[in-house]
A and B are shown apart, each in its own frame.
Chain A
Amino acid sequence: MQQKEAQKLWLIAPAALMVSLFFLYPLCFSLYSAVTLDGALTLSHLDKAFELYSKDMLFTVIIVLVSVMLLAILSISIAALITLSPFRSVVGILGFLYRLPLFIPFIVAAQMMRTFLAKNGLMNNAFVASGLMTPMDTISFLGWSGIIITFVWKQLAFSTLLISGAMAALDDAQIRAARNLGASRLRILFGIILPQIAPSLGVALVLSTVTMMSVLSVPMMIGTGTPTMISADMAFRVDSYGDYHVANALGLVSYLICAGLAWFYLRQSLKDKGAAA
């Protein structure tokens, strides 16, 4: 057994080495600068980060959580439709459609949304032209709602691709059996499919969270005024003050938030597996 574990470590070694050498090692300098001032350990940078940006941290967490929740609901329904729908045309159209945003870079998605969601953007113009709205009623979605819309729009393809892939890999026999026993499709979805694809769902959501936390272009282009997201604060700290200390402290906070969520997921998935075994 001991030998077997050593073998597994060898399998991870190349990947782990790559990350350690080309990212962790350089990252250490950044972490060092987050907790030191002229060589002495200090928490003052973290203090300052919290003092100035605690509101933004909360804002970031809320934005990310809301987006992740919307993502989960939407991508499960789309993936479920693709897997369970009896209508071939529905499956075909949906399968083609949802993948489109995958290919559009964040920076472009952000700009598109800026002109789409703005007060006099294409969306409101379309509503006005179709008589659903008068020009007086139009409101701008730039700001927190725009950030969420953009994140969900862009990440939906990612999570749906993962989830529908997992659903497709499921054993059909179970679904068939349940169907024969008279279970409704909703029951099948919640009772049989969801528990089995939970790992993929978790991965999709964790990776989406991480992506959203690190994307700079969306809060920069869609977000207006304050509060804003941590990544934008970090950029501001570096570009405007040349202050790497507080920026790194913010980066640390951002990583801890991501790691916290990921840890929660990993622990949960370990528990589930333990129970199954």
Chain B
Amino acid sequence: MVAQSVSNNIVLKRLKRLPFASSFWLQMLFILIFSLLLFGPIINLLIWTVTEVWYFPHALPTQWGLKYWHQVFNPYSDVSGSLLTSLLIAVLTVGVCLLVSVPAGYALSKRSMPLRVFWMLLFLIPQAFPNLTVYMNIARLFYGFGLNGTLLGVVLVHSVHGLMFSVWISVAAFSATDPLLERASRNLGAGSFYTFFHIVLPQAAPGIMASCIFVFLESLDEFTGTFFVGAPDITTLPLLLYSASMEGNYQIASITALILLVPSILFMVVIHKFMKPEMLAKLGK
């Protein structure tokens, strides 16, 4: 992240002159072990995407090929269409979550907030109570509202789940902002809106952006809520390939993950681009 490199730059200059040769190798060793642990499963995933036959006791697949790619992209299932729907839903979900959680996060970061613990626990509920038994009731409610089978319905269901991430992380981000700067700005005569958007928000921006990533990913992976509220009118990629993934078809699950990786990484890149101006503003403080 940009923030890291900025601070690193400064710390770096200070620390560079000291002798670190042994700790360098130590750190490299840590990275090597860490990357082995990290990459092992990922390599496993990549191998599975091009595996056709892999019997015991062979250490590697005995037959490689793209058979399962053809199966995923068969003419009967609209992979690109459902991927686009997934993407649209995820972006809208991020938008909705941002809109409601930035003010909530700001308010909750203040210690004087009445019933603060209560509110915080409230936003935890949608994830902390296993949803299995609740979806049926949600579906019933949404049918009553006429929201079933609409994009709005799916976005709402995903947003309620994403709120845990966006609210809790926003609170942490706003808590870390410097109250003195805020007070100074107000004392200098700036309005509360001006102060919020120009002083407070830029400071909390990295945390809020991080929360966007989680909301986005959460929405992209979600299946059950989409089924109850969106199906059969709305088809997302996880919905399309759910049976295969759930059943232990490693090839299709791995390929799905790879396809979902593309929008995730794109989103991260976009967010980074978007973050830069804010970070520059922070530099000038």
Contact = CB atoms under 8 A, between A and B. Distances in A.
Interface of A: 5, 8-9, 11-12, 14-16, 18-20, 22-27, 29-30, 33, 77-78, 81-88, 90-91, 93-95, 97-109, 111-116, 120-123, 125-126, 128-129, 153, 158, 161-162, 164-170, 172, 175-176, 179-180, 199-200, 203, 206-207, 210-211, 213-214, 216-217, 221, 230-231, 234-235, 238, 244, 247-248, 250-252, 254-255, 258-259, 262-263, 266-267, 270, 273-274, 277
A83 B7 contact: yes
A23 B11 contact: no
Contacts of A125: 59
Contact of A214 (B56, B128, B256): B128
Interface of B: 1, 3-8, 10-12, 14-16, 18, 20, 24, 27-28, 30-31, 34-35, 37-38, 40-45, 47-48, 56-57, 59, 99-101, 103-104, 106-108, 110-114, 116-117, 119-134, 137-138, 140-141, 156-157, 159-160, 163-165, 167-169, 171-172, 175-176, 203, 206-207, 210, 213-214, 217, 220-221, 238, 245-246, 248, 250, 253-254, 256-257, 260-261, 264-265, 268
A116 B156 contact: no
A24 B16 CA distance: 54
A27 B125 contact: yes
Nearest to B249: A111
A6 to B, nearest CB: 10
Contacts of B126: 19, 23
Contacts of B106: 11
Contacts of A258: 124, 128
B7 A172 contact: yes
Given A5-B112, A19-B126, A168 B137 contact: no
A235 B224 CA distance: 13
Nearest to A90: B27
Contacts of A113: 41
- Classify the interface of chain B: helix, strand, loop or mixed: helix
A84 B27 CA distance: 11
A168 B4 contact: yes
Contact of B213 (A102, A114, A122): A102
A45 B1 CA distance: 49
Given A97-B35, A120-B56, A120-B57, A210 B137 contact: no
A139 to B, nearest CB: 16
A112 B116 CA distance: 40
A247 to B, nearest CB: 5
Given A23-B160, A26-B138, A116-B44, A176 B254 contact: no
